[in-house]
């Protein structure tokens, strides 16, 4: 049912990867970012439409989403930053995308939220999609907001949302924290396709992680929707743990799932429970 699919933030690492793995999956793939992107590839590999839009500009966003059946929303600020930049990219820009999608009649959005929306849960606790947000940063607050706004647009306007709380995306995990939160490109592609193609999605939150043995997440909601991860961080564990042996680490970062996002600017006299 997806004819034209839009990827916002297509110039980032996840966006570039999805541009490759989804090429030819849908008849038309529209890719957009506020920075210039590589030109469209050969049509025999799948038709592409290349767009340049700043999502803080509502008029431009309306043009970007015109004729789109589904959206993979990756655009915005992808890490901690000043409140002004978070506000522009992850609050105003997010609202613009959702509202323009509503006006255009788009019926499905897969959204990149983040583990940082729940980063202040301790690593000793396994959490699922039903826990209340405990953001670890201004960035994490913006991702908790994105899930709340998605819930509103699902209930009030009937747009189907899959919110993917991404851990860390990459070809392999690069440190011990990422052994618990890593997701491979092919596993994230699988989640995105579930979000776009599953017939019964209304509003769902899942964790964007591979089938990691060391995961802090109960990802049964993703499995309920048909997710079957193909990768696990465990083959990389021995090398990473040996490399980090004896390293001095921040106790706040090590206590919580959000890692250094929790430790940065931390001024409380005692850590939260």
CATH number for 98: 3.40.50.720
Residue 272 lies in a domain: no
Is 273 inside any structural domain? no
Question: How many Cβ atoms from other residues are within 10 Å of residue 30's Cβ?
Answer: 23
Q: Would you say residue 183 lies in a domain? A: yes
Q: Among residues 26, 95, 139, 188, which one is catalytic? A: 139
Total tally of structural domains belonging to the chain: 1
Residue 268 lies in a domain: no
Q: Mean pLDDT, the chain, as a whole number?
A: 97
Query: pLDDT of 211-227, one tens digit each?
Result: 999 999 999 999 999 99
Which element (helix H / strand E) includes 191?
A: helix 185-197
- Residue 19 φ then ψ, to 5°: -60, -35
- pLDDT tens-place string over residues 20-41: 999 999 999 999 999 999 999 9
Which residue range forms the structural domain that includes residue 26? 4-263
**Cα distances (angstroms) measured from residue 136 to each of 9, 60, 80, 130, 250:** 23, 32, 10, 17, 15
* 139 a catalytic residue: yes
pLDDT of residue 45: 86
- Residues 105-131 have pLDDT tens digits of 999 999 999 999 999 999 999 999 999
Q: Does residue 222 sit within a domain?
A: yes
């Amino acid at each position: 049912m997806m004819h034209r699919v839009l990827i916002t933030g297509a110039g980032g690492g996840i966006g570039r990867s999805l541009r490759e793995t989804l090429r030819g999956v849908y008849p038309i793939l529209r890719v957009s970012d506020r920075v210039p992107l590589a030109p469209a590839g050969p049509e025999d590999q799948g038709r592409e439409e290349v767009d340049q839009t700043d999502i803080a500009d509502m008029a431009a966003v309306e043009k970007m989403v015109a004729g789109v059946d589904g959206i993979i929303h990756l655009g915005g600020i992808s890490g901690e930053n000043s409140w002004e930049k978070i506000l522009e990219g992850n609050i105003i820009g997010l609202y613009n995308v959702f509202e323009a999608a509503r006006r255009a009649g788009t019926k499905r959005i897969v959204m990149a939220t983040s583990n940082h929306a729940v980063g202040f849960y301790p690593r000793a606790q396994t959490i699922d999609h039903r826990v209340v947000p405990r953001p670890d940063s201004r960035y994490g607050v913006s991702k908790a907001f994105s899930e709340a706004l998605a819930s509103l647009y699902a209930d009030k306007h009937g747009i189907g949302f899959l919110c993917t709380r991404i851990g860390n995306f990459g070809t392999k995990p690069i440190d011990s924290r990422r052994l618990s939160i890593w997701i491979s490109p092919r596993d994230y592609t699988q989640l995105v396709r579930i979000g776009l193609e599953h017939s019964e999605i209304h509003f769902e939150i899942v964790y964007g992680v591979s089938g990691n043995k060391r995961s802090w997440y109960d990802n049964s909601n993703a499995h309920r929707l048909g997710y079957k991860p193909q990768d696990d961080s465990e083959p990389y564990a021995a090398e990473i743990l040996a490399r980090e042996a004896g390293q001095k680490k921040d106790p706040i970062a090590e206590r919580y799932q959000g890692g250094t996002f929790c430790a940065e600017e931390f001024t409380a006299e005692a850590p939260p429970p």
